[in-house]
Chains A and B, each alone.
Chain A
Amino acid sequence: MAKITLQNVSKQYKGGEIQALKQINLEIEDGKFFCLLGPAGAGKTTTIKLIAGVEPLDSGKIFMDDQEITDLLPNQRDVAVAFETYALYPQRTVRENLAFPLRAPLRKKEWSEQQIQARVEEVAKLLGIDDLLDRLPRQLSGGQRQRVALGRALVRKPKAYLFDEPIAHLDAKLRHRMRGELRRIQLELGITTVYTTPDQLEALSLADQMAILNEGKIEQIGTPSEIYQHPANLFVARFVGDPPMNILRSEVQGEEAYLFGQTKLHLPDHIRSKLAAADIQRDLMIGVRPRDIKLVAPSSEQALLRGQVKYVQVLGETSILTIVMDSHEVRIKMNTQDAPNRGEAVGLNFAVQDCHFFDPRTELRLD
């Protein structure tokens, strides 16, 4: 168990053509489940590889607890990695793949052969691959291989687990189950875990702490609820939450903000003082989560915006509605049984306290 700290870590590929990580600072607390969330190419895998030590970093330092590990070899760092691309030993059976980390020369004396077999079977059972132990990797499906890759990390009890999209290739149902299992294992063992995913729902549901990574930079670090409720900038606001937050451009006049030149929204005091401080004269970005918008009758006084239902996407109990007004689209999420039909005219209402305000130039949150 260990605290992992990244200090001003940078990494380039192809002689500087690709800047994978730009001055990353991270502190991953001891025993926490830490998610790195970001789109493809954000630098998630690079971060994992740098912590594991399989890639050298260009500048910066990495610490484990208070010991610097920047220049340590991967096997001296005592981490276990589940690679996104599986990286199984092609010629060895699943059993041998799982046992290898325990048999490695470095740890030869720690485990007896009997203990190894018992541990391998325990982990295989946990991952539901106990009937595949004597197969070769190429005889497995993608999802099965991924579970073997995960198993190869889980057989050990290292200082930290590094999981690079470990369940991305499983089918939805299994993924859901594995998510629960991983969280349970982590809580049970209390081993610091770094987990990357492009799936915001996965990150929100698993993490104690999470960081949003985008183009090699950290956009925000916080608990899932902090990130969901107080996205630090427009990127996080759009990336976290499904469907994404509606971002409306508004014009500020005095104490009011005008949406689409017609709807008046009274700005709260603390926002107005921020506006003055940030020297925002006119434009203001207002974000509203699809859940926070309520439907009202178009003729109602409460209707802040009026539009027409363009699509209704039914997701079982809830539905996602796409509403058009002029050339803009707003998406809302509501109970299916209350949803209007396609083509109906509707009015939209939302509370000012549910709005998120962003500076259009810096894209940063105002409050």
Chain B
Amino acid sequence: MSSRRYILWWVLPAAILFLVIILIPFITALTFSFRSFSFTSSLSTGQYIGVDNYRKLVFDNDFYNSFKVTFLYLVPAILLQGILGLGMALLISGAVRRARILIPIMLLPTLLTPVVIGLIGVLTLNPDFGVIGQLLKKWGLVQGSVLGNASTALPAIIAVDTYQWTPFIAVILTAGLLALPKEPYEAAQVDGANPIQTFFRVTMPLLWPYFVVALLIRVIDAFRIFDIIWVMTRGGPGTATETVAVYAYRHTFRYWDFGYGSALIMVIFVFISILVEYLYKALQRWQAAQ
């Protein structure tokens, strides 16, 4: 019997899994995005309306605003997490072996569900009884509630997100640092390089691939950030913290406009795909150019 006959059986489980978990929901969302769901149409299938949802989306200023908010959150959050994560990783990898038992403890925020993290944020930032909220109010840094203020709500979310995800980046970079070959460091020692030169000539270039992986994961995550924001601000005040995922959720499950919500999700999906592809290439080019 030829082994070719078995191939089908080997790939079948994975293929079914892929079909059920990824492909069917994706195609469903895609077909939904060409339909309108209202109480006059059939709720299960909606009514076919062509590209109307997409046409509407092009002129939807709130949608553009949600992209802007996403980037206002994403860029500082990831820069912050990258820098802090690298710092943490350098400390951990430089620490004596015994100190590494602290790693699981440091990972705790990452292990908690975002909803819990969001609640922690809400509680600590409360101006009346929250640890940090009270201090901010006392020092006059914030008028009233941090989360109730359009100019401080997003920074607060960035801070909470950083609290949750910095350890994640730190762990990836620590793994990278611990796996780096020793010899380039030894060569740098013999050559008489100082610590700063060693960091930029040896550590950073060798660590860069790990950095790229961590950053890309966080960029993709950033477009999906929902739980923390929903718990802390529900996208408010106004639309100050309404990222793309929150915006799509609002349309889908608050306004029950499955069609428009699906169209939003499709556009976000395509956007992330292009962005990640571009970022990946750019980061690689950046390394090559160095």
Cβ–Cβ contact B183 & A86, under 8 A: yes
> Within the complex, which residue of A75, A85, A88, A136 is in contact with B190, where a contact is CB–CB below 8 Å?
A75
Cβ–Cβ contact B189 & A74, under 8 A: yes
16 CB-based A-B contacts, threshold 8 Å:
A74-B186, A74-B192, A86-B183, A87-B181, A87-B183, A87-B186, A89-B188, A89-B202, A91-B287, A100-B191, A101-B190, A104-B193, A104-B197, A105-B192, A106-B192, A136-B288
> Within the complex, which residue of B181, B186, B290 is in contact with A54, where a contact is CB–CB below 8 Å?
B186
Most chain-B CB neighbours within 10 Å: which of A49, A87, A92, A101? Answer: A87
Chain A interface: which size bin? 20 to 34
> Within the complex, which residue of A73, A88, A105, A107 is in contact with B189, where a contact is CB–CB below 8 Å?
A73
Q: Which residues of A lie under 8 Å from residue B189 when comparing CB positions?
A: 53-54, 73-75
Cβ–Cβ contact B205 & A81, under 8 A: no
Cβ distance A36 to chain B, nearest Cβ, rounded Å: 18
Cβ distance B155 to chain A, nearest Cβ, rounded Å: 35
Cβ distance A93 to chain B, nearest Cβ, rounded Å: 11
Cβ–Cβ contact B201 & A91, under 8 A: yes
Closest 10 CB pairs of A and B: A87-B183, A104-B192, A75-B192, A91-B205, A54-B186, A106-B192, A87-B187, A74-B189, A101-B191, A87-B184
Chain A residues numbered 62-78 whose CB sits less than 8 Å from any CB in chain B? 73-75
> Does any Cβ of A come within 8 Å of B40's Cβ?
no
- Sample of 16 more A-B contacts, CB < 8 Å, known A75-B191, A89-B184: A53-B190, A54-B186, A73-B189, A75-B189, A85-B183, A86-B183, A87-B181, A87-B183, A89-B188, A90-B205, A91-B204, A91-B287, A91-B290, A101-B190, A101-B191, A106-B192
> Does any Cβ of B come within 8 Å of A80's Cβ?
yes
Q: Which residues of A lie under 8 Å from residue B194 when comparing CB positions?
A: 105
Cβ–Cβ contact B190 & A74, under 8 A: yes
Q: Which residues of B lie under 8 Å from residue A86 when comparing CB positions?
A: 183
Q: Which residues of B lie under 8 Å from residue A55 when comparing CB positions?
A: 186
Of all chain B residues, the one with the shortest Cβ separation from A75 is: B192
Most chain-B CB neighbours within 10 Å: which of A53, A54, A89? Answer: A89
Q: Which residues of A lie under 8 Å from residue B191 when comparing CB positions?
A: 75, 100-101, 104, 152
Cβ distance B154 to chain A, nearest Cβ, rounded Å: 36
**Chain A window 97-124, contacts with chain B (Cβ cutoff 8 Å), 1 for yes, 0 for no:** 0001100111100000000000000000
Cβ distance A167 to chain B, nearest Cβ, rounded Å: 17
Cβ–Cβ contact A81 & B187, under 8 A: yes
> Does any Cβ of A come within 8 Å of B29's Cβ?
no
> Does any Cβ of A come within 8 Å of B206's Cβ?
yes
Chain A residues numbered 136-162 whose CB sits less than 8 Å from any CB in chain B? 136, 152
